[in-house]
Structure 1
């Protein structure tokens, strides 16, 4: 859940067209553009149906290309899922990271983080996130698992950096930043899962409230801040 690692999936992070184009134009598209087109089309399918319910034909139809084009560029739907999650990570966390970097304090950065994690628009992201981890349990390629590990490590580092900034600036007092980071990430994942399952019901406002309460409890405010 942090800036992507292109080497994990062999794609470049440059911008490419996001819409299917006319058949006459597809032959002129470079490989990277075609791959991006296919992945873009797969994102909503995976988010809405789940990874296990999406097949090559579904992706091809959504992208407006032939099945042969999909299988030429990707070895499996799971490979497409990997790149689709990279796109989600890019879009979801790039803006979040920039906002956190512009925050005037570690406390403000953490508030921005919590607010961005739970909105009415983030359910798709969380569905993709859990599909991504579930796919890793069955993926035979160790590179897939290593990519997951690096992304989660980057996500932990982002959380820890904000908390550490607050401690350094004198806003907070915390004796175990590593422990705080692990618990914050775990609680965020747990709240996201409950939010998706709605068992018991959980609003975005309540999810934020629980996570903010955790931050306030774990990172003790220093007098005068």
Structure 2
């Protein structure tokens, strides 16, 4: 049976996860690329988890496609890291996907500093809609979600039905701890975003990301001062519609 979003039912996801439950991240990636081939894309934010996944993916499929949602608002350190990754893994295909609106056009239509007045709309225009465009061309996508990151991610499985994007979401790192992520980065001497050394555990757009103090929630620096904690890429239908 061809594995597609349309062909899989709830029981199929349970069966697949039962088959993979004792496998490691590399095995999950091997299964994913054997199953989907070029129909699989990695949407990477180039955070710490991203660096681990890129390295693992390079061991499984050297010409894998990686997409970065380039909102035009990222830190210079993030763009510098992407160039380092391109040099380290020259056979990977890394695409920077931009929104349809330039920052100037967005300001003209929706007003200045939309990330302050309506952050959900800003994320929709600059991240969600571009990713919808990418995923419309692929059967499945890879994400670096880990269960310990937040309560909304605690039930993430290796293989997930992604109703938000009508796609199959593969999450190979669900069991990894933050300590294990950084052990892997240090052990394999991987490049990483310099902002991680400046109290930025989670890095998004420059205007919406602040440093986090010791003991605070690692994601408390994202959309600081608001109730918003997710851009919407990983919210289920119920959360998305609220």
- Where on the TM-score scale, by shorter chain, does this alignment land: which range? 0.3 to 0.5
Q: Which has the larger radius of gyration?
A: 1
TM-score, reference length from structure 1: 0.33
Higher helix share: 1
TM-score, reference length from structure 2: 0.31
